[in-house]
Chains A and B, each alone.
Chain A
Amino acid sequence: MAEELPTPEELISKGYKPPKTAWMDTPVNIRKGMYCYASTPKTVETLGLPNPRNWNPLDDDWQLPDNWKEIVFEGLRERLDKFRSFKLFMDICVRCGACADKCHFFIGTGDPKNMPVLRAELIRSVYRNDFTKAGKILGRLAGARPMTIGVLKEWWYYLFQCSECRRCSVFCPYGIDTAEITIVGREILNLLGLNIDWISAPVANCYRTGNHLGIQPHAYTDMIDFFCEDIEEVTGVKMEPSLNRKGAEILFITPSGDVFADPGTYTAMGYIILFHYLQELGLDITWSTYASEGGNFGFFTSHDTMKRLNAKMFAEAKRLGVKWILGGECGHMWRVIQQYMNTMNGPADFLETPVSPITGTCFENAKSTKMVHIAEFTADLIYHNKLNLDPSRNDNKIVTYHDSCNPARGMGLLDEPRYVINSVCNHFYEMPSNTIREQTFCCGAGSGLNASEDMELRMMGGLPRANAVKYVHEMHGVNMLACVCAIDRAVFPALMEYWVPEVDVTGLHELVANALILPGEKKRTTDLRGEPLPGVEEEDAEE
């Protein structure tokens, strides 16, 4: 610490200046607050992944196997052969820099190694050195460098400062997707046992009990029961959701964060209310305490791990004998479903192309996955006038919408959530155009970076998003940030508290359920959070 203090001369000089070295010569400085704790041996063992041990990223010795370099090269070689996209991305970057300033982590941290082009270059430099002729001959002149322990640490540090959000790929003229480079890079790190606990623990839990928190079926049921009691208190209507019911037409799968963590819990209550409302119109749906996790942190570990965790979706659908699957509000869950599920664990020929039992709409887009996103499903209901809505019940909420990276860039879900919000709320304002839709800024904590120990990283990575929220808060008085992702709902409360404390966070279906008029409901005086509905306090005062 002491040697980092500026001297008196430096203090009166113009200002602090960082050392000027080329990026290859700037050694990695692993800083607290910027990384997540290392994976524990138990979780690594549970999954049968290599090199389980106690290790600390701040230690000099990461306790790697003696032949770690060989493992890295073999891992790299295997993946260059297997994933054509990865090989292309290694070869075709012209270092034009179009992606350089598009990453929220670069914008927030100001660290050049968070420029997507440099992040990829961390791996590409080693690839050049050992896999290309030019690199072998010209070495550093061709942008090549040998693999060392310092380079490996740099990989680890910066690959876990990429949320795999794909924003950079939108701006690359060649369509290079740095997220995919990160995915492969993390997969190689896992060959050496270099995962983070915030990923490996949920993955191990999920593998054992079906969800990230390791909550067992009875607790899941208790939680749903509790939601029903709360809903009855607010609406006067008794809910009777079904769980693990064989022969239901539709299976509902949502991230466990909706069931176990605030404020996702209010979104879960929203689903229950919507399903109850639709029951009379012909909805035949069941929840599952086994497929109790839509999220898939395996995706942030390796392709194989992702596949293992994903398998339960189709397996549970088969066990229950449903026709198709409805999916809740989640981010990366949809990237896995949309991009990988069919080839990993499909084709699910035992399922049918989803058709809404209420409107008759056939979801052709879900023909291969047999899974429909609930925002699409609800938008279709509203479009066909099937919901009796009173948007004024959300009048105290001045709403903006955050496009979660994966649904937006990974599956093109852009207009459906907006259509729903505009139908259930009277006050909706968009954030600036270069921060939403395909260009949306990440929450700063995707891809398993939503631990608490890396709060500094999260606050910086989330700055561009929060900055846009702050703008609509100041311009239009926005006080509610809506989203369709469980990680968003988990991390935005802290992000808002740091940057825009006046803004709260909600899921889409919490807003839907507040507006939805249930047959036989009592006069509602509060929203799902128990806060007075707009106008109610004044009415009380008049009485």
Chain B
Amino acid sequence: MKGKLKGILEEKKPAILNAWFTVVAESYAEETAKFLRRQKDPFANPVGRAISKTTEELFDDLLTGPDYETAGIHLDSIIRVRSLQNFTPSSATQFIFSLKSVIRDAIGKDIHESGLEKEMVEFESRIDQLGLVAFDVYMKCREKVYELKSNEFRDRYYNAFRRAGLISEVAATPNLDKSNNMTKAP
């Protein structure tokens, strides 16, 4: 991305990121939102840390990109958390689309005065694209959880008994020989 809009966005980056963080934080209960904002230690507050780090990375991705593969990697660290939490898929990913109104609130006047509507619409379609990538990431995380749920017992107990020859098998069980590392799912 180049041009005037990029310049304005770069200039207003701290304010935009701050507002965007607030939007994400406010998707949690009030007490939680306060904590997410207040606690700066990344180990005491991994979710807050993931929100601030990821939103900044995504913002930069949108400005420099669009490289949606990298953006997907960045999205992972926040979607991986939100896909587990008490959100519907839409509310888990909604914060991405919220960036549009966050930006319009912050620089709407500049956009209007400088006649940057077209550029802004183009920028917004990148945000939409990012939202689509988020669905892919979301599904990947959910699938991982289901996989863990269904494989865990097999990986922990069944394999140990089988190696010990304590299970008599009728036919070869597919997909159980994962070298010697029995602790990992395939």
Contact = CB atoms under 8 A, between A and B. Distances in A.
A445 B36 CA distance: 23
A490 B159 CA distance: 13
B137 interface: no
A108 B184 contact: no
Interface of B: 23-24, 26-32, 35-36, 39, 41-47, 80-81, 84-88, 90-91, 94-95, 97-98, 100-102, 144-145, 148-150, 152-153, 155-157, 159-161, 163-166, 179-185
B153 A107 contact: no
B86 A31 contact: yes
Given A111-B29, A504-B183, A262 B165 contact: no
A108 B144 CA distance: 18
B166 A222 contact: yes
A505 B165 contact: no
A498 interface: yes
- Those 9 A-B pairs whose CB atoms lie nearest each other, nearest first: A226-B164, A16-B91, A467-B46, A530-B180, A15-B23, A493-B183, A15-B98, A262-B182, A261-B156
A16 B85 CA distance: 14
B148 A494 contact: yes
A180 interface: no
A15 B94 contact: yes
Nearest to A222: B166
Contacts of A101: 35, 39, 44-45
A223 B183 contact: no
A261 B160 contact: yes
B24 A15 contact: yes
Given A112-B29, A112-B32, A471-B43, A504 B148 contact: no
24 contacts: A6-B94, A11-B94, A12-B97, A14-B23, A14-B26, A15-B27, A15-B95, A16-B27, A16-B91, A18-B27, A31-B86, A107-B44, A107-B46, A109-B86, A111-B29, A222-B164, A260-B161, A262-B155, A262-B182, A452-B152, A464-B43, A471-B42, A497-B144, A501-B184
B164 A223 contact: yes
A529 interface: yes
Interface in A175-218: 213
A110 B28 contact: yes
Contacts of A390: none
A248 interface: no
Contact of B148 (A6, A17, A498): A498
Nearest to A501: B184
Interface string A9-33: 0011111111010000000010101
Contact of A260 (B35, B150, B157, B181): B157
A14 B95 CA distance: 8
- The size class of the interface chain A forms with chain B is 35 or more
**Residue with the highest number of chain A CB atoms closer than 10 Å, among B31, B35, B80, B88:** B31
A334 B159 CA distance: 28
Given A31-B86, A467-B46, A471-B43, A493 B184 contact: yes
**Residue with the highest number of chain B CB atoms closer than 10 Å, among A265, A464, A494:** A494
A59 B178 CA distance: 40
A115 interface: yes
B166 A219 contact: yes
Given A101-B39, A112-B31, A468-B43, A498 B91 contact: no
Contact of A5 (B47, B90, B183): B90
Chain B contact residues: over half helix, strand or loop, or mixed? helix
Contacts of B32: 106, 110-112
Interface string A94-117: 000000110000111111100100
B184 A504 contact: yes
Given A108-B84, A262-B182, 11 more contacts: A15-B23, A15-B24, A33-B84, A107-B44, A110-B47, A110-B86, A262-B183, A459-B145, A504-B183, A530-B180, A531-B179
Given A262-B155, A463-B46, A18 B28 contact: yes
Interface in A89-148: 100-101, 106-112, 115
B81 A463 contact: yes
B84 A459 contact: yes
A435 interface: yes
A117 B150 CA distance: 34
A498 B145 contact: yes
A223 B90 CA distance: 49
B46 A16 contact: no
Nearest to A118: B31
Given A6-B94, A452-B152, A504-B181, A460 B164 contact: no
A50 interface: no
A395 B91 CA distance: 46
B150 to A, nearest CB: 8
B108 to A, nearest CB: 13
A497 B184 contact: yes
Interface string A446-461: 0000001101100110
Given A15-B98, A110-B85, A262-B159, A497 B148 contact: yes
A432 interface: yes
A4 interface: yes
A462 to B, nearest CB: 10
A6 B46 CA distance: 27
Contacts of A106: 32
Contact of A531 (B27, B28, B180): B180
A263 interface: yes
A29 B102 CA distance: 31
B43 A434 contact: yes
A466 to B, nearest CB: 9
Contacts of A12: 97, 100-101
Nearest to B44: A434
**Residue with the highest number of chain A CB atoms closer than 10 Å, among B32, B98, B153:** B32
Nearest to B95: A15
Contacts of B87: 16
B148 A452 contact: yes
Nearest to B24: A15
Contacts of B31: 100, 112, 115
A219 B157 CA distance: 13
Contacts of B159: 262
A265 B44 contact: no
B85 A460 contact: yes
Contacts of A33: 84, 145
B94 A16 contact: yes
